[in-house]
Amino acid sequence: MFVFIIRYLEFLKFVPGVALLFDAQLKLWTLIANPNLLNWIDDIEKEVLTWPGTTVTTHKYGGLQFNYHGKELGHIHSNGLLDMLLSRKIKQQLMQQDQRVQDHHRFKNSGWISVYVKYDGDKHLAIELFEEACKLHADKASNN
C-alpha cells in the first residue's frame, strides 16, 4: 500500500495535513500488525537523543525526523521506513555491505538511502546509520 501511495498519489503530500494523517494511519496499522516495530522506533529515538546536538521533530511528510544541530539526519515513517541522506560514496559502500540498505524509494541517483526496520536487528542497523550520518554532519561542520 505504501509503495502504491508514493508512486501514484504522491501529489497529495502537497495538501496540508494529508501526509501527517496518512502517517498516523500507518502508525495505527503498525500498532495492530506489528507492535514491536513501534518499540524499536522508540528505542532508536531514545538512543539517538542521548548524543550531543541531536533532536527529534515531526517530519513534514509524517514520522520522526532526527536532527543534528538543526540539520536533518534522517527520518523514520511509522511503517518502519528509514530514509537518510549520506554521501553517494558512503551510500554505495553501505549498499554493497548490507542488502537491507537500498536506494531511496524516490531519489535513486542521490545520496539518499532507505532501510526498512522489520526486525530487532534492523534497529541496531538504524542506530549505526544515524551514527554515520552524525559523523558526516559533524565533519561538514568542522570543515566550515
- CATH code, domain carrying 58: 3.90.1150
**pLDDT, position 109:** 80
CB 46 within 8 A of CB 38: no
Domain that holds residue 56: 2-143
Grid coordinates representing 73 are 539526519
Cβ atoms of residues 45 and 56 within 8 Å: yes
Which range (2-11, 68-77, 115-124) has the least confidence?
2-11
Assess whether pLDDT exceeds 90 at residue 122: yes
Residue 59 predicted with pLDDT over 80? yes
Is the CB of residue 71 less than 8 Å from the CB of residue 57?
Answer: no
CB 81 within 8 A of CB 122: no
- Domain total of the chain: 1
Give the pLDDT of residue 34: 94
Residue 81, pLDDT > 90, answer yes
